[in-house]
């Protein structure tokens, strides 16, 4: 992608939500644009990050045998009235209105009321179980306070997975599989998502949240000594910083954190409401046990920025970056030199493309070197390559990683190889 063609512009000042780094940096770099509080447009660079997260989640969901579907976002009130959630939490969470023909409708904020009746049409016998389906979709929630940029939106992107089982044991086993899949997802995203015990509300004794420690988080968690397990303060309200962990594993550390995902054992909660049962081998009807599992993809994107930035801008991992490589061609007053710089940069970009590696190329002719460097730091792609009069004299390019301060020269005949090994490592 040539920056001369990119329609979005970087800005020095964020216009809103100044206290939250993710909103500030993502807006300034032209990744997102606020439409109103809690509602954003994803611009080309931001959309690429969101898609990278979605793709990691999709791969890990497919890997544990769940099948992708896409349910509607515009929903009939009927099934919500059946479970009682049309009234409680009702409009406090759900956007509700009257559609054509005086019909009560609402926007999807979660999908148990849609997926359970859907599965009732397909699950009849023990042979139809277990089954797991997921979707990646925008959810709508009438959040009282939409703040902290894309960490808490009124419209936000979520992956929701629902699983259905013949026995409690099978539900528990799948729950553990999802827990492992979530660990892989956050690890691949470069997010420190700590499995955290939570109360799980009224219908599930234990559930897990995945919490990322950050000052902009709204939750308080107690992290164990090895930093790989935590407890939400809500369930252990009497625990204090430095107390022994509930599992006896040593002192805990209290931290502010943001929930990036969670997993619930719903058991018979919704399958009972919709009378979703199956025939066992003896032809007897039996209850179906259910689990539900969410990850906020847009929140993951915001959380990553909260954890990975400096005073100059964002610092993306290769797995999430809009582009792994940011190529800068500096301008020269000398026309012949200018042309040599341009063709060298273009050659590198084309070479990479033929290897399936996409680069963002700052080819702008009217932008100063200082501005190009500032933009590269703000956007935060992991590897920056600079081609200038100076580097051409060395038959090389300047190679610099966003998370390191030193740069070095790499000879032209070594570039392709070095980049390939950088991408693979």
Residue 185: closest CA among 379, 320, 353, 354: 320
Q: Phi, psi (5° rounding) for residue 339?
A: -65, -40
- Return the residue nearest ligand ATP (CB atom): 296
Q: Three-state DSSP class for 384?
A: strand
Distances, alpha carbon 154 to alpha carbons 12, 37, 134, 275, in Å? 26, 8, 21, 32
Helices (H), 69-166: 78-83, 112-120
* Shortest reach from residue 297's CB to ligand ATP, in Å: 8
CB nearer to ligand ATP: pick between 259 and 362: 259
* Shortest reach from residue 89's CB to ligand ATP, in Å: 10
CB nearer to ligand ATP: pick between 27 and 298: 298
* Shortest reach from residue 95's CB to ligand ATP, in Å: 13
CB nearer to ligand ATP: pick between 106 and 294: 294
Q: Three-state DSSP class for 394?
A: coil
* Shortest reach from residue 32's CB to ligand ATP, in Å: 13
* Shortest reach from residue 38's CB to ligand ATP, in Å: 7
Q: How far apart are CA 151 and CA 40, in angstroms?
A: 11
Binding residues vs ligand ATP (CB under 6 A):
110, 141, 143, 152-153, 156, 158, 259-262, 294-296, 298-299
CB nearer to ligand ATP: pick between 202 and 366: 202
**Cβ proximity of 313 and 380 under 8 Å:** yes
CB nearer to ligand ATP: pick between 68 and 334: 68
* Shortest reach from residue 340's CB to ligand ATP, in Å: 48
CB nearer to ligand ATP: pick between 164 and 293: 293
Q: Beta strands of 79-224 (E only): which ranges? A: 96-99, 103-107, 131-140, 155-165, 194-198, 207-213, 219-223
Q: How far apart are CA 23 and CA 149, in angstroms?
A: 4
Residue 244 is given by DSSP the state B
């Amino acid at each position: 992608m040539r920056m001369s063609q990119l329609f979005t512009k970087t800005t020095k000042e964020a216009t809103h939500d100044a206290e939250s780094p993710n909103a500030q940096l993502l807006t300034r770099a032209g990744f997102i644009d606020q439409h109103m509080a809690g509602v954003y447009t994803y611009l080309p660079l931001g959309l690429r990050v969101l898609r990278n997260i979605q793709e990691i989640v999709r791969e890990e969901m497919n890997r544990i045998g769940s099948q992708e579907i896409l349910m509607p976002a515009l929903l009939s009130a009927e099934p919500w009235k059946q479970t009682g959630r049309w009234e409680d939490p009702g409009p406090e969470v759900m956007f509700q209105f009257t559609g054509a023909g005086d019909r009560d409708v609402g926007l999807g904020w979660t999908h148990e009321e849609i997926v359970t009746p859907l599965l009732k049409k397909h699950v009849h016998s023990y042979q139809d179980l277990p089954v797991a389906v997921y979707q990646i979709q925008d959810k709508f929630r009438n959040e009282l306070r939409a703040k902290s940029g894309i960490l808490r939106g009124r419209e936000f992107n979520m992956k929701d997975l629902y699983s259905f089982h013949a026995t409690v044991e099978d539900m528990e086993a799948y729950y553990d599989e999802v827990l492992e899949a979530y660990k892989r997802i956050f690890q691949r995203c470069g997010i420190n998502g700590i499995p955290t015990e939570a109360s799980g509300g009224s219908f599930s004794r234990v559930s897990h949240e995945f919490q990322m420690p950050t000052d902009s988080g709204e939750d308080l968690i107690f992290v164990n000594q090895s930093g790989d397990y935590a407890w939400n303060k809500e369930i252990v309200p009497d625990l204090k910083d430095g107390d022994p962990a509930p599992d006896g594993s040593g002192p805990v550390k209290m931290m502010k954190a943001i929930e990036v995902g969670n997993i619930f054992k719903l058991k018979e909660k919704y399958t009972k409401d919709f009378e979703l049962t199956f025939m066992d081998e003896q032809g007897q009807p039996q209850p179906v046990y259910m689990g539900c599992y969410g990850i906020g993809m847009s929140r993951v994107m915001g959380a990553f920025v909260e954890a990975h930035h400096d005073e100059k801008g964002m610092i993306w991992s290769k797995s999430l970056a809009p582009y792994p490589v940011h190529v800068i061609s500096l301008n020269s007053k000398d026309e012949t030199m200018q042309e040599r710089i341009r063709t060298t940069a273009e050659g590198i970009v084309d070479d990479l493309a033929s290897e399936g590696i996409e680069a963002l190329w700052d080819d702008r002719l009217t932008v100063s070197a200082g501005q190009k460097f500032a933009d590269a730091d703000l956007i935060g792609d992991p590897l920056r390559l600079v081609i200038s009069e100076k580097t051409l004299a060395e038959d090389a390019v300047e190679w610099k990683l966003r998370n390191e301060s030193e740069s070095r020269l790499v000879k032209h005949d070594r570039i392709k190889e070095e980049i390939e090994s950088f991408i693979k490592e």
